[in-house]
Amino acid sequence: MPEAPPPSGGPLKGLTIRDLKWDDLDAIVETYYALYDERDRGEPIGIHLFAERPSRSDEVGWFTSLYRRVLANDSVVAVADVGGRAVGHCTISTVGLEHGSETDHVGLLGIVIGEAYRGRGVGRALMVGALERARGRFEIVLLDVFSNNHRARHLYEQLGFRVRGSLPFHAKRRGEYFDADEMWLDLRTWQPPTANG
């Protein structure tokens, strides 16, 4: 059962960024399932979802695949931990279909953060943690961001991502279309931001 989230607003105390553990399964699935509740409330979440919430079995299969990809060095995952519980994660995975392909040096970034933990520095800490873990494994990192998700895009730009193009009508949610911006980062020259930047 999820613990009560900390009071909203202000910096988050006790946040650590760590590697993925098998024991993170339940917390990560609960965070993902909560996105469907947000969508149903009409919240403007910026992640692609299925029309219907996947089954628990589907999610166990997805997590198992992710864990295998981490062990095979095809993915890196940074986990935001508060009080011993995963409250978000940032994944960078190969875009190639198999290890050793000509696109093996390119990673695709995805990030999920529990609603109560957003706007408190968790996203920034997660992304920096994931990018630091990805250095030496990936050279280029790509991501897509909904064009109306200004907060996320601003964070990505602060971390060095640049827009490489737009994807009109990228997602269709309940009859409404959403455009997306494709962004990229050259991890070979990337430097973690300083405390001031």
Task: For residue 98, name the pLDDT band (cuts at 50, 70, 90).
Answer: low
Closest CA to 141 of 125, 130, 149: 130
Going from N- to C-terminal start, the domains of the chain cover 15-186
> Which pLDDT value is given to residue 42?
82
CATH no. of 15-186 = 3.40.630.30
Choice among 63-72, 116-125, 186-195 with the minimum mean pLDDT:
186-195
Residues belonging to the chain:
197
Residue 2 has pLDDT above 50, yes or no: no
Measured CA to CA, the distance from residue 106 to residue 131 in angstroms comes to 12
Q: Which two tokens stand for residue 154?
A: 């601003």
pTM of the model: 0.89
Average model confidence (pLDDT) for the chain?
Answer: 89
